Chain A
Amino acid sequence: MARALVPASEGARLDVRKTYKLYINGAFPRSESGRTYVVSTPAGEPLANAARASRKDLRDAVRAARGAAGGWAERTAMNRGQILYRVAEMLEGRREQFAAEVAAAEGLADRAAREQVDRSTDRLVWYAGWADKISQVLGTVNPVGAPYFNFTIPEPTGVVGVIAPEASSLLGLISRLAPVIVGGNVAVVITSETRPLPAMTLAEVLATSDLPSAVVNVLTGLKKELAPVLAAHADVDGLDLWGAPPSMRAALEEAAAESVKRLARGARSADDGRFDWADDRRAQRPEWIAAFLEMKTVWHPIGV
């Protein structure tokens, strides 16, 4: 819209704008509600109309995710790792596009925005490598005091709701999403409410990265409308609250308790965007993969 103020003067080319939609089940539908909301830069300059997803859209996304959960969990670990790496490759190829979008969304200078994009790509590569290692780090063989072979292995939890960080539109989102899916979970993401556009462009990357349809579903809209539905949804197994508004935390956790959801509650410093997503030591951790893994212990007798 801001860009629309520039008239198509003679000889200048009128640019083709993108309609930002949702990403559900591998497709890019508008909200079934037909609603949109205006997204602006931090300076207040309008950028685009984003889809304002409804509760119905969210339930559709959860159903799609559930359908994809079994297949994704059964992919080999190496295959999951390669697909995540492929996402990084696609991101790298669109470096300039993402830099422009992040700059506009977060009000950053070009260089700072490019840094966010590069970090995002590197973070994906970091997590991609974990796919076939995490079970060797978290798994154990247990020396029980009787003639049994006993071992413990991690498995994905299932459908994980991710409420994406509000301030860090791309790097924050990728830092929360990558550990969820690399472990074999599927995700329903509620993007940053005020900075949703890079996330929807990321959905285009996901759609062209060999990631099976519906492994990641991305919704834009109002967190106060969507997050409570996600938290209360009985077919969601886990919930990442890093991007939940502090004022909603307690209510979301209470709603999540009803179906014994696993929670990633988030650092206190993530509340107001102070968390430094660029700090590799703090912002990428194998524990964050483990947050949505279930440990399965197996016993078998030993005998002739």
Chain B
Amino acid sequence: MHNPAMTIKPAGRPGAAGADETRDERALARGWTGEKGPASWGLGDGQAVPWEYAPAPEARDLARIRPRYGLFINNREVEATGGETFVDIDPSTEQPLAEIARATAADVDRGVRAARTAFGRRWGNLPGRERAKYLFRIARILQERSREFAVLESIDSGKPIRESRDVDVPLAASHFWYYAGWADKLDYAFPGRAARPLGVAGQIIPWNFPLLMLAWKIAPALAAGNTVVLKPASTTPLSALLFAEVCREADLPPGVVNIITGPGEVGTALVRHRGVDKIAFTGSTAVGIQIARNVAGSDKALTLELGGKAANIVFDDAPLDQAIEGIVNGIYFNQGEVCCAGSRLLVQESIQDELIERLKDRLATIRVGDPLDKNTDVGAINSRAQLEKITELVAAGQAEGAELYQPACDLPDRGYFFRPTLFTNVAQSHRIAREEIFGPVLSVLTFRTPSEAVEKANNTAYGLSAGIWTEKGSRILHMVQKMKAGVVWANTFNRFDPTSPFGGYKESGYGREGGLHGLLAYVRLDDD
């Protein structure tokens, strides 16, 4: 998957020839030849003005949002027991989108029973090749209805349409495609062992990549022969509920996929339910710990994909143009609401000044605004609560003495938006260097030697991802070895693929999603 987030944009100021002359001279002095792209065009003053862009909105009505959604149990849309609902908000307008059924413990029970029955009767005994064909069908339908999903996802989550269209939805479809092929090849997956399904999987997913996380969870579970009860995040239930339609369209047997919506208590009820054999959770470390506590003493299998505070390390011999794009993609992709975001930039001291100057120029070209505008780089923060958390941590950064920089971009009048933010003079003890912000906020720290970079990069309780930028191959492999992180991107960042295992070290969780290792999380291995 080629992630085109944060492509280079021209930064010239049209019609200001005199000023541009100086600009060009200084740019040329830095080695810009006019061909590589104008990422180095600015003056390091954050005042580089992008081209005027006409709005290029994607058609909102493609999403076909209904006023009300129920739970999806046994292939039927049902009201929650007690009939309660909650309101799903469009984070870019703060307007209500739809009323969503609020599940109760009784509904969790209904969902688990449906999944249990389907596992025992239909799905568990279906030949692998038939399961495979269902999954291929789902992949195809996701591809066919991809634009509808992309628009819906952007409306519901606030992410830019360019990302939902080019990253989230195609990747979700390819996850189903990849695991479809495993369904009838389980005998070859783990030599000497027979891979058997675990039973009913309870899956709880976050709001940052709603459909993609659904795919990461459901595709391997079904391929291995499990049935699922999935709880999407309460601020982003719509793509999961549209996926329910896809299940019906694919004629998936009733009860194989069940989707229940509601607040955190619904997830807790699912985790505690005795009829569940496996829990898979993606979300914060704090909630992950609660889940592990709830699972304690039971026989439930558990995988956790939790928070991160990744170091993105730039050495003095790094390819700087690419590194700048990698840094920007690392932290501003999906508004920084990414568990593996490169939120700590570790830059070698000797290139600090140049890198920061160029980074500031680059930030000035980032377009923040309407998620449905195809030119938007940074969309809306997912919820008011998340915006408040980001605001609070940024205030803490200033209070603790870090130096704040934000480009002078216009934000929409309403909706939950936050400017791309860069902190310099950050100490390792600062909250913004230790806590997961989950927002477009980059903390810059420096190092002198590779060993200092290693020490600082690993100086966190998290261990999800890391980035390394250098042209020296042996140094890349040395750093790869030293990083206590489950995913290491060298001269790139934030790449994902269904064949590529993803998951954390330390308090970033355990278990892997993607690839053969992702399949292992949904089977038990028997001797025959």
Q: Does A152 contact B (CB under 8 A)?
A: yes
Least CB distance from B488 to A in Å reads: 5
- Name the residue on A nearest B486 (C-beta): A296
- Name the residue on B nearest A268 (C-beta): B299
Cβ of B296 and Cβ of A250 under 8 Å apart? yes
Least CB distance from B392 to A in Å reads: 25
Q: Does A298 contact B (CB under 8 A)?
A: yes
Cβ of A257 and Cβ of B497 under 8 Å apart? no
Q: Residues of B contacting A140 with CB < 8 Å?
A: 501, 515-517
- Name the residue on B nearest A73 (C-beta): B481
Least CB distance from A31 to B in Å reads: 29
Cβ of B2 and Cβ of A299 under 8 Å apart? no
A143-B499, A296-B486 given as contacts; is B296 within 8 A of A257 (CB)?
yes
Q: Which stretch from B32-40, B349-357, B407-415, B504-512 is at the chain A interface?
A: B504-512
Give Cα distance in the complex from A143 to B174, angstroms.
13
A152-B515, A250-B297 given as contacts; is B506 within 8 A of A260 (CB)?
yes
Cβ of A152 and Cβ of B517 under 8 Å apart? yes
Chain A residues touching B, range = 35 or more
Cβ contact of B501, chosen from A152, A251, A262, A287, cutoff 8 A:
A152
Q: Does A297 contact B (CB under 8 A)?
A: yes
Q: Does A237 contact B (CB under 8 A)?
A: yes
Q: Residues of B contacting A300 with CB < 8 Å?
A: 476, 490-492
- Name the residue on B nearest A259 (C-beta): B507
Q: Does A7 contact B (CB under 8 A)?
A: no
Q: Residues of B contacting A256 with CB < 8 Å?
A: 292, 296
Give Cα distance in the complex from A257 to B292, angstroms.
5
Q: Does B289 contact A (CB under 8 A)?
A: yes
Q: Residues of A contacting B285 with CB < 8 Å?
A: 260
Cβ of B500 and Cβ of A260 under 8 Å apart? no
| Count of chain A to chain B residue pairs whose CB atoms are closer than 8 Å in the complex | 111
CB-defined interface of B486-528 with A at 8 Å, one 1/0 digit per residue? 1111111001010111110111111010011100000001010
Q: Does B1 contact A (CB under 8 A)?
A: yes
Q: Residues of B contacting A144 with CB < 8 Å?
A: 1, 495, 497, 499-500
Cβ of B293 and Cβ of A150 under 8 Å apart? no
Q: Does A18 contact B (CB under 8 A)?
A: no
Cβ of B293 and Cβ of A257 under 8 Å apart? yes
Cβ of B293 and Cβ of A297 under 8 Å apart? no
Least CB distance from A274 to B in Å reads: 17
Q: Does B485 contact A (CB under 8 A)?
A: yes
Q: Does B346 contact A (CB under 8 A)?
A: no
Cβ of B480 and Cβ of A298 under 8 Å apart? yes
Cβ of A299 and Cβ of B500 under 8 Å apart? yes
Q: Does B306 contact A (CB under 8 A)?
A: yes
Give Cα distance in the complex from A298 to B285, angstroms.
23
Cβ of A299 and Cβ of B296 under 8 Å apart? no
Cβ of B525 and Cβ of A301 under 8 Å apart? no
Cβ of B490 and Cβ of A299 under 8 Å apart? yes
Within 256-304 of A, Cβ neighbours of B (below 8 Å) are at 256-260, 262, 281-282, 287, 294-301
Within 83-107 of A, Cβ neighbours of B (below 8 Å) are at none
Within 145-190 of A, Cβ neighbours of B (below 8 Å) are at 145-146, 148, 150, 152, 157
Give Cα distance in the complex from A80 to B489, angstroms.
29
Least CB distance from A84 to B in Å reads: 21
Q: Residues of A contacting B491 with CB < 8 Å?
A: 300-301
Give Cα distance in the complex from A251 to B487, angstroms.
32
Cβ of A299 and Cβ of B501 under 8 Å apart? no
Give Cα distance in the complex from A148 to B487, angstroms.
14
Cβ of B509 and Cβ of A296 under 8 Å apart? no
Least CB distance from B450 to A in Å reads: 15
Residue pairs across A and B with Cβ atoms less than 8 A apart, 27 shown, are A140-B516, A140-B517, A142-B497, A142-B515, A144-B1, A144-B500, A145-B1, A145-B174, A146-B2, A148-B495, A152-B515, A249-B296, A253-B292, A253-B295, A254-B293, A254-B296, A257-B293, A257-B296, A260-B289, A260-B306, A260-B506, A262-B510, A287-B525, A294-B486, A295-B503, A295-B517, A299-B495
Extra pairs beyond A146-B1, A157-B505, A256-B296 (8, CB < 8 Å) = A144-B1, A152-B515, A252-B296, A254-B296, A287-B193, A295-B512, A299-B492, A300-B490
Interface of B with A (CB < 8 Å)? 1-2, 174, 191, 193, 285, 288-289, 292-293, 295-297, 304, 306, 476, 480, 483, 485-492, 495, 497, 499-503, 505-510, 512, 515-517, 525, 527
Ordered nearest first, which 6 A-B pairs have the shortest CB separation?
A250-B297, A253-B296, A257-B292, A144-B497, A254-B296, A142-B499
